[in-house]
Amino acid sequence: MSTLPSQFSDFLTQVKASQTLWALQERSSEGWVVLDSINFEDTDVMPLWSSAELAKKHCIDEWQDYTPVAISVADWLEFWVEDLTSDNVMVGVNWQDEDYLELELGEFSQQVASIEAFKKEH
């Protein structure tokens, strides 16, 4: 397996500890922030952050009506991957003004699955 970019490794380390991803959702319509890819034509990218604080920094200007919403790793893997796959959406990791890593959904989700914490049944 290839070495992960440091930006993605840092993201995974933070998500592993919290078991939470963060996305921006509009308060009124409940729509999610999705952007045009900076690397691929006709491709959408959903930015995700490793903390509410990083996500909250972007709730200004055109995104002032959005708020950070937590997505558990378990929910991401169970519900989100299938929906985003059918829409051919990529993932932007810790988006910071045009500076973010775009990853294929499958590659991203495979790495997220590897850090998922399973709760033991008693």
Per-residue pLDDT tens over the stretch 34-57: 999 988 899 999 999 999 999 999
pLDDT of residue 121: 46
pLDDT of residue 117: 86
Distance CA 112, CA 35 (A): 21
What residue spans define the domains of the chain? 6-114
Distance CA 27, CA 52 (A): 16
pLDDT of residue 23: 97
**What is the band of 98 on the pLDDT scale with cuts at 50, 70, 90?**
low
With respect to CATH, is domain 6-114 assigned 3.40.50.740?
A: no
Q: Which of 1-5, 39-43, 49-53, 93-97 is the least confident region?
A: 1-5
Residue 122 in this model has a pLDDT that exceeds 50: no
